[in-house]
Amino acid sequence: MSHRVLLCGAGGQLGQELLFTRPGHWECFARDRTALDIADPDQIASALEETGAQWVINAAAFTAVDAAETDRDGAWQGNAVGPGQLAEACYTRGVRLLHISTDFVFDGEQGRPYGPDDVPNPLGVYGHSKLEGERAVLATGGDPLVIRTGWVYSRHGGNFVKTMLRLMAERDALSVVEDQVGTPTWARGLAEACWDLIECKAASGIYHWSDAGVCSWYDFALAIAELAQEQGLLDRSAEITPISSRDYPTPAQRPAYSVLDKSRIRQLLGRPSRHWRMQLKAMLSDLQNKETSN
């Protein structure tokens, strides 16, 4: 039996991996930001009516963390108002919703992995807007699902991995922050978890997903350099120096520790996530295959 899902934010990193990993019995109607503004109730209603979707996956978001500090309205529309409008439309039509959120809803002060029930305390506009989006989604009823994740990357779009590859190819040396700790997440693994979650009849509420393991941005950069050279994506070695976040000020404050506790989703789905180094190696292979085919 075929099931129908409306995918919002189909042009982003996660959106494209959701399309790639789509199970064959799901008919997916992909809408990017130009085709569907989730803050517009009329556009949402039209999309739901046209597709006859039983599920909506909301991968649409305002993800520019630093830009959110000055474009507060843009962040609020994309991350708080839009998800609320989407959730309300789904609830009134009996459509289930899976909404993607972020580790930035936490302040990083806890010192142990954050569970889904830990109290959020975002540090910046981006985190605040995403938290309000979660609350709006969960307040509508209709048993929506929320997945929080963090440090997402893929071969699509702009992200830390692709930025590091470019800088390492251009420069002899670069500095990377070592006092912010979390877990990198390949968007493909996250996409697979999303599909598993919406097919699990017992799923309800908030879940956390990332790859396994823990590292700093500096550790992540070292692994990118090592694995990219192994796979022939880099033919030179740049010197990578660890620095404090105090030495690399940004408009938005970031949590120093944003490791997520994934035990709830692991118990539900019956499988763990893969280690971030394994996933990074697989993504770099995917990127290399894409470049070779071009």
Helix runs in 79-159, H state only? 82-93, 125-139
What pLDDT is recorded for position 246? 93
pLDDT of residue 109: 95
pLDDT digits (tens, 9 = 90+) for 21-71: 999 999 999 999 999 999 999 999 999 999 999 999 999 999 999 999 999
What tokens appear for 159 in the block?
A: 């992200």
Q: Which residue numbers are catalytic? A: 126
The tokens describing 211, both together, are 């790859």
Element (H, E) at 14: helix 13-20
List the Cα angle 186/21/49 in 5-degree steps. 115
Going residue by residue through the chain, which has 294 residues, state the pLDDT in tens, using 9 for 90 and above.
469 999 999 999 999 999 999 999 999 999 999 999 999 999 999 999 999 999 999 999 999 999 999 999 999 999 999 999 999 999 999 999 999 999 999 999 998 999 999 999 999 999 999 999 999 999 998 899 999 999 999 999 899 999 999 999 999 999 999 999 999 999 999 999 999 999 998 888 999 999 999 999 999 999 999 999 999 999 988 999 999 999 999 999 999 999 999 999 999 999 889 999 999 999 999 898 876 665
Rounded to the nearest 10 degrees, how much is the dihedral formed by the CA atoms of 108, 114, 117, 120? 10
- Evaluate whether 157 touches 235 at the Cβ level (below 8 Å): no
Return mean pLDDT, the chain.
Answer: 94
What is the reported pLDDT for 294? 55
In this structure, the strands spanning 96-102 and 55-58 are: parallel
What's the pLDDT score for residue 292? 63
Strands (E) across the chain are located at: 3-8, 26-31, 55-58, 96-102, 145-149, 152-153, 173-177, 181-182, 185-186, 205-208, 215-216, 239-243
- Token pair 């930025």: residue: 163
What is the C-alpha to C-alpha distance for residues 140 and 92, in angstroms, rounded to an integer?
A: 9
Pick from 34, 35, 25, 33: nearest CA to 5 = 25
Domains of the chain, start order: 3-158+184-211+268-274 (3.40.50.720)
| E-strand stretches of 9-54 | 26-31
Name every residue whose Cβ is closer than 8 Å to that of residue 164 and which is 6 or more positions away in sequence: 176, 221, 224, 225
d(CA 196, CA 68): 32
Using DSSP's 3-state secondary structure scheme, residue 164 falls into: helix
Task: Determine which helix (DSSP H) or strand (DSSP E) holds 100, and give its type and residue range.
Answer: strand 96-102
Contacts of 229 (CB under 8 A, 6+ apart): 235, 237
State the pLDDT at residue 43. 96
